Amino acid sequence: MGDQPVIDPTGPRLVYVQVADHIQGRIRSGDLALGSRLSAERDLAREYGVAYDTIRRATALLRERGLIETVHGRGTFVVAVPPDNGD
């Protein structure tokens, strides 16, 4: 992921929305399977090259979309797969 930056800070779309959409794409594609755990939030921040604050916003968005659930002390897990026309 690091070689092909997925996030464009200069683009019109908000960075945290870009991150959320990208994670959603990984869930839809099966890269992040149902029930699997996402990387730790601080690790996601490093992987995407964004700030921790931005990851918090992105996961909050995915939680609102019902795709993930977060358990204090355990991590964040995929609980639903969006339909192909989910965007």
The residue among 71, 80, 53 whose CA lies nearest residue 23 is 80
> What does the alpha-carbon distance between residue 32 and residue 16 come to, in Å, rounded to a whole number?
18
User: Taking CB under 7 A as the rule, which mask of x and - marks residues 4-43 in contact with DNA?
Assistant: ---x-xx---xxxx--------------------x-xxxx
> What does the alpha-carbon distance between residue 29 and residue 16 come to, in Å, rounded to a whole number?
20
Nearer to DNA, 28 or 57 (CB): 57
| Residue 50 sits in the site that holds DNA (CB under 7 A) | yes
Take residue 35 and report the two structure tokens written for it.
């029930």
> What does the alpha-carbon distance between residue 59 and residue 65 come to, in Å, rounded to a whole number?
10
Kindly tell me which residue out of 1, 30, 34, 52 binds DNA, with binding defined by CB under 7 A.
52
* Interface positions with DNA (CB under 7 A): 7, 9-10, 14-17, 38, 40-43, 45, 49-54, 56-57, 59, 70-76
